[in-house]
Amino acid sequence: MFKQVELAYSYDALEPYIDALTMETHYSKHHAAYTKALNEAVEKLGYEDKCVCEILRNLDDIEDEALRRTVRNNGGGFYNHNLYFSIMSPNPNKNPEGKLLEAIEAEFGSVETLKDALTKLATGQFGSGWAWLCADENGKLVALNSPNQDNPFSMGLKLKPILGIDVWEHAYYLKYKNLRGDYVKNFFEVLDWDKVAERYEKALSCER
Residues lying near Mn ion in the complex (CB under 5 A) are found at 166, 168, 171
Residue 5: CB minimum distance to Mn ion, A = 13
Contact 59, 72 (CB under 8 A): yes
Q: Which is nearer to Mn ion, 108 or 183 (CB)?
A: 183
Q: Which is nearer to Mn ion, 166 or 192 (CB)?
A: 166
How far CA 110 is from CA of 100, 107, 207, in Å, comes to 11, 8, 29
- By the 10 Å C-beta count (0-12 exposed, 13-18 middle, 19+ buried), 118 is classed as buried
Residue 166: CB minimum distance to Mn ion, A = 4
Residue 168: CB minimum distance to Mn ion, A = 5
Residue 25: CB minimum distance to Mn ion, A = 10
State the residue number with the nearest CB to Mn ion: 166
- Give 81's Cβ-side CA count (13 Å radius): 30
Q: Which is nearer to Mn ion, 19 or 201 (CB)?
A: 19
Q: Which is nearer to Mn ion, 132 or 168 (CB)?
A: 168
Contact 53, 152 (CB under 8 A): no
